[in-house]
Amino acid sequence: MNEHPRVQTMRALKAMQHDLRPLNAPRPLRMQADAHGHIVGVWREGRLTPRRIASVQDHWRIDDEWWREHAIVREYYELLLDDGTLLVAYHDLLQDAWFEQRR
């Protein structure tokens, strides 16, 4: 029995998924808090020392795919670190985990 063209397309796309590697995937980030629980520094993956947050440049929130099994709820921050680096980090509110990611 011949498959419906749509099924064929979906199958081909699924096969393609194996060869697709997402660009700009989030990377885990460790945050440092002070005695009051306020976040004051970040420790990026592969770095020897943490960095202090000098200021927060921007802040936004994404609520998406709430109709799916794994909804996305993220709070993004654009942080200026004490060495002058601009870092975009987000807090995954569902997992309570931090990640860094380019905009």
Partner 1 sequence: MLWPDVRVACVWIAQLPLRVEVLRHPAWDGRPLVLGGAPGERKVVQLCSPEAEQAGVRPGLPLREVVPLCPEAIVLQPDPVRTASVLESLLTALQRVSPAVEPAEAEDGALYLDIRGLHTVYGDVRNLERAIRAAVPALLRPRIGLANGKFAAATAARMSRPGELRTVPAQATHAFLAPLSVRLLTMLEPETLDRLELLGLHTIGDLVALPFSAVQAQFGPPGARAWRLAHGHADEPVIARSVSVAVHAGLRFDDPLGSVEAVMAAIDQLLAQTFGHPSLQGRSVRQVRLRALLSDGTSWERLYTFKEALSTREAARRALKSKLDLPNGLPPAPIDELALELLGLGGEAARQPGLFVARARQFAEIAEAARQLRARYGRVPLYHAIEVEPWSRIPERRWALVTCEV
Range 34-46 burial, b when 16+ CB lie within 10 A, else e: eeeeebebbebee
- Tell whether residue 68 is a contact of partner 1 (CB under 8 A): no
Report how far apart, in Å, the C-alpha atoms of 96 and of each of 53, 69, 90 are.
Answer: 20, 17, 10
Question: Token digits for 100?
Answer: 């860094």
Selected from 6, 21, 36, 38, the binder of partner 1 by CB under 8 A is: 21
Specify the residue, 73 or 81, whose C-beta has the smaller distance to partner 1. Answer: 73
Selected from 20, 68, 84, 96, the binder of partner 1 by CB under 8 A is: 20
Contact segment (CB under 8 A) with partner 1 among 24-32, 33-41, 47-55, 78-86 equals 24-32
Query: Could you tell me the smallest distance in angstroms from the CB atom of residue 33 to partner 1?
Result: 26
Report how far apart, in Å, the C-alpha atoms of 54 and of each of 1, 39, 75, 90 are.
Answer: 65, 11, 19, 17
Residues that bind partner 1 (CB under 8 A): 16, 19-26, 62, 64, 72, 101-103
